[in-house]
Amino acid sequence: MTSLVDGYLSHITSACAADLSGAVADYIPELAQVDPEGYGLSLCVHDGHIYSRGDSSVEFTIQSISKPLTYALALSRLGYVQVDTKIGVEPSGEAFNEISVDDRLRPKNPMINAGAILTASMLLPPVRDVAPQTVDEIFDELVAFYSACAGRQLSLDPAVYGSEAATGARNRAIAYMLDSFGVIDTDPEAALDLYYRQCSLRVTTDDLAVIGCTIANGGVNPRTGRQVLNQEVAQRVLSVMTTCGMYDGAGDWVSSVGLPAKSGVGGGILAILPGQLGIGVYSPRLDRHGNSVRGIDTCRHLSTDLGLHMFNLT
């Protein structure tokens, strides 16, 4: 069985490797300098077994794939009512860094930057001057949660974090827009700092596959057996990943792949088959939406060949 799966994964990775289209993110030097050829694929099945191919142990920054995890943490800590008052669950149909809110002044969903920065802000104390040690403590809790989902200790890429913080004019504009609407209850700089740090955590495709399988399993990490988030939260996270996880490419993705997913500009994609499977793919060349070209192609192959589409009727 194992060699059958391995053979199949080799087959689809060789097929997808030929596509050299897209471009690596270049808004910070650390991302511009990654090897564009990097390509890894991991699948974690419900008993915790991981099938991997290619650069599955190469670390890259999680970037926006952090958004569903911080959203899960905020829901677990604060509950739905409080989170939903501030952040919607509607697909935006817009770019990930769009400066937009709905008619109740809420970011449209937690998968775009506006929603993710606000989600991070909700983990901080409601004071205007948050001490740097407080951000450190909350970040430690956030890393502990992500690590529990991945089943191993994750760490920060300090160079990426430094560059994200130094060049984040657009994200600052988003945070201060939200602040001007009176929807940020904390220090906007502290919220941005926490957001930049969460984006700068290093993961591998093996980690993404385990994180995905943990969510697929209703919050139980299949490798450690630990319940790290509750079932209701996992269900909500899967829902917003389905409708909003691939930004303005979400409709295309749902039609052709049909799995809850989240991409990041670091080149990673996390895709999930509820109840069954977590998939992690890495390939840093991105399409115009900021989604990994080969990552999408790989998931499309997996979905078609294995009948993973959530509305598969065959």
By DSSP bridging, strand 60-61 and strand 202-203 are antiparallel
Interaction of residue 199 with ligand GLN, rule CB under 6 A = yes
Instruction: Choose the catalytic residue: 42, 52, 56, 64.
Output: 64
Q: Which pairs with CB-CB distance under 8 Å and at least 24 residues apart come from 237-240? A: 237/68, 237/71, 237/72, 237/75, 238/272, 238/274, 239/89, 240/68, 240/71, 240/89, 240/109, 240/110, 240/111
The residues in 89-108 that bind ligand GLN, with binding defined as CB under 6 A, are 96-97
The residues in 25-54 that bind ligand GLN, with binding defined as CB under 6 A, are none
Nearest distance, CB of residue 117 and ligand GLN, angstroms: 8
195 catalytic? Reply is yes
265 catalytic? Reply is yes
The residues in 115-144 that bind ligand GLN, with binding defined as CB under 6 A, are none
Interaction of residue 113 with ligand GLN, rule CB under 6 A = yes
Residue 103, C-beta contacts closer than 8 angstroms, at least 6 positions apart: none
- Which structure tokens are listed for 171? 């994200």
By DSSP bridging, strand 261-263 and strand 268-273 are antiparallel
The phi, psi pair for 51, rounded to 5°, reads -100, 125
- Which structure tokens are listed for 54? 């290619």
Print the binding letters for residues 247-266 with ligand GLN: x by CB under 6 A, - otherwise: -----------------xx-
203 catalytic? Reply is no
For 94, other C-beta atoms within 10 Å of its C-beta total 14
160 catalytic? Reply is no
Nearest distance, CB of residue 41 and ligand GLN, angstroms: 19
What residues form the annotated binding site for substrate? Answer: 64, 113, 164, 171, 195, 247, 265
Interaction of residue 193 with ligand GLN, rule CB under 6 A = no
86 catalytic? Reply is no
Q: Please report, as ranges, the residues that interact with ligand GLN according to CB under 6 A.
A: 63-64, 96-97, 113, 164, 171, 199, 264-265, 290
